[in-house]
Structure 1
Amino acid sequence: MGNEPEKHHRKIIHIDMDAFYASVEQRDNPELRGKALVVGGSPEGRGGVVATASYEARKFGIRSAMPSKQALHLCPHVIFVRPRFAAYKEVSQKIRAIFSRYTDLIEPLSLDEAYLDVTEDKLNIGSAIEIAQQIKQAIKDELQLTASAGVSINKFVAKIASDINKPDGLKFIGPSAIEAFMEKLPVEKFFGVGKVTAQKMKNMGIHTGYDLKQLTEDELVKYFGKAGRFYYQIVRGIDSREVQPHRETKSLAAEDTFAYDLTTIEEMDAELDKIAQTVCNRLQNYQLKGRTITLKIKYSDFKQITRNQSFTSGVNDLETISATAKRLLAATLPEDKKIRLLGISLSNFGDIVQKQKEEKETDQLKLPFS
């Protein structure tokens, strides 16, 4: 009886590319290799933000989502490069092709990471660790990039494991080691625990999985709502979520933070035209139509609002997207306001254009904001 559950353990791999955008830039431009590199917005003017940083830049404390000006302050010799999303997408598709040699159960989370269920692999290798090693080696040999892998019996633990030995790491956390591992894990590492929740937990004296484990399920629900049930399961290493190879894309968006505040309708409309074009290109590339258009506005004081409009049928044409965004903006009476960011997203993909079967695997890649 003691060995019975072993038959039902899944074999899950989480692959996470190492400093993906920066690594692609360094691979394609030898002059950038070994240099402190930021892929993201320029620090000029008010400055953009860091999309990702090379490991050489991370040594100076530079991290994703940091203002580019701050990155420059931390490392005055850092090199800034604008993102090339088309190049990253092309590489991502090649990585996906490598995954597909081993399994069709692939759930992309973004261009640079994915879950793989290799409980039954195509090559009958049997060992998830061996498969992870082969995938890492193929990515290195064929694409001159490195990836880190986490291997376990569920998605949550595999994802955490992939981050332990970065870069170029491989970590296996087997069934017998999961509970002890979870007990030592800081609460901020738990899926679904953001900065606010983590601070709330710490204020309650909950710093690790062990501390979290001392609360009953009812107590966790009382303090944290519905998420409490999830925490109760996760801290015990229980995660029944399946790898979803056909996970539906929920939204597709683009946004831009401007070097200087926009103060006139003409400036705002011109920027919305550019953003709408980016969104339109992505929608048509992924053969998607959305029934809801959402406009995102962030003001100079960092106050943020969204406005949306829904349609009876899906749209993906530039004229409709741009005109709708402009109407939504005009309704906010922006004449006397200073705007630092605008974004457009489409969601509610009720109408999906039929695609050729060989193209379907790219539907699920989540595109980043520009």
Structure 2
Amino acid sequence: KISNMLWNYCRGIDHSVVEAVQETKSVGAEVNWGVRFNENKDADNFLVNLSREVSLRLQGCGLQGRTITLKVKTRRKGAGEPLKFMGCGDCETMSRSTTMTGATDNLVTLQRIARQLFAALHVDVKEVRGVGLKMSKLEHADLGRGAH
């Protein structure tokens, strides 16, 4: 069965049904390469910029979200330097999220909540190797406009 399918694909023949585009479930940004912080203000600046990127992506899609999730990768205890220069290497991943009553794409709100979630993880900033921020429970911006 698979060989027939591949034979057809090689000749540009595809009888599968074309389906509608799936609705976006989440919008976010994540960086797992080159993340190194020396002090808390470095991590704070990173969160500010990551929040800005997520806010811009939400606005670009015309969406707002109610649940914000912060994911942080930290170097596993006892792990050496990664093989890939500035890579994340052997890490543990942890995350925290919170759901708001109203949907938002507001930059200041995202920054404030991202900072709160990061503080709740109680991580040593020198061990951070990756950070991601994601908004879910999305709504069209015209429905949730004004909720911050």
TM-score scaled by structure 1?
Answer: 0.31
Does the CA-based 8 Å contact 1:296-1:307 persist in structure 2?
yes
Partner Cα separation in structure 1 for residue 37 and residue 117 of structure 2: 16
Q: Does 1:276 align with 2:51?
A: yes
Does the CA-based 8 Å contact 2:75-2:128 persist in structure 1?
yes
Partner Cα separation in structure 1 for residue 92 and residue 36 of structure 2: 13
| Aligned counterpart for 1:244 among listed residues 20, 23, 34 | 20
| Aligned counterpart for 1:331 among listed residues 93, 107, 120 | 120
SS in 1 for 2:70: strand
Q: Does 1:348 align with 2:141?
A: no
The alpha-carbon deviation at position 340 of structure 1 amounts to 0.7
Partner Cα separation in structure 2 for residue 332 and residue 344 of structure 1: 14
Aligned sequence identity (%): 27
Which residue pairs with 1:308 in the alignment?
Answer: 97
Using a 3 Å threshold, how does the CA distance of structure 1 residues 255 and 172 change in structure 2: closer, same or farther? same
Partner Cα separation in structure 1 for residue 68 and residue 26 of structure 2: 10
Using a 3 Å threshold, how does the CA distance of structure 1 residues 260 and 296 change in structure 2: closer, same or farther? closer
The alpha-carbon deviation at position 337 of structure 1 amounts to 5.3
Partner Cα separation in structure 1 for residue 18 and residue 101 of structure 2: 33
Partner Cα separation in structure 2 for residue 281 and residue 271 of structure 1: 15
AA in 2 matched with 1:257: N
Normalized per residue, which structure has more helix? 1
AA in 2 matched with 1:286: C
Q: Deviations over 1:207-246 (max 9, x none)?
A: xxxxxxxxxxxxxxxxxxxxxxxxxxxxxxxx8x87124x
Identify the structure with bigger relative contact order (alpha carbons < 8 Å, sequence gap 6+). 2
Q: Any residues of structure 2 matched to 1:143-292 within 5 Å, and which?
A: 165=10, 171-173=12-14, 243-245=19-21, 247-292=22-67
Which residue pairs with 1:230 in the alignment?
Answer: none
The alpha-carbon deviation at position 338 of structure 1 amounts to 0.5
Residues matched between the structures, number: 124
SS in 1 for 2:34: strand
| Aligned counterpart for 1:297 among listed residues 68, 72, 83 | 72
Larger Rg: 1
SS in 1 for 2:32: strand
Mean Cα deviation higher: 335-344 or 281-290: 335-344
Q: Deviations over 1:112-170 (max 9, x none)?
A: xxxxxxxxxxxxxxxxxxxxxxxxxxxxxxxxxxxxxxxxxxxxx8xx85xx65xxxx5
Does the CA-based 8 Å contact 2:69-2:96 persist in structure 1?
yes
TM-score scaled by structure 2?
Answer: 0.72
Partner Cα separation in structure 2 for residue 254 and residue 344 of structure 1: 6
Q: Deviations over 1:308-334 (max 9, x none)?
A: 010011010110111101100101112
Unaligned runs of 5+ in 2: 77-90, 144-148
AA in 2 matched with 1:264: E
Which residue pairs with 2:106 in the alignment?
Answer: 317
Which residue pairs with 2:146 in the alignment?
Answer: none
Does the CA-based 8 Å contact 1:263-1:336 persist in structure 2?
yes
Q: Deviations over 1:49-87 (max 9, x none)?
A: xxxxxxxxxxxxxxxxxxxxxxxxxxxxxxxxxxxxxxx
The alpha-carbon deviation at position 258 of structure 1 amounts to 4.3
AA in 2 matched with 1:343: G
AA in 2 matched with 1:243: E
Normalized per residue, which structure has more strand? 2
Runs of 4+ that moved beyond 3 A? none
SS in 2 for 1:348: strand
Unaligned runs of 5+ in 1: 1-156, 175-238, 356-370
Does the CA-based 8 Å contact 2:27-2:134 persist in structure 1?
yes
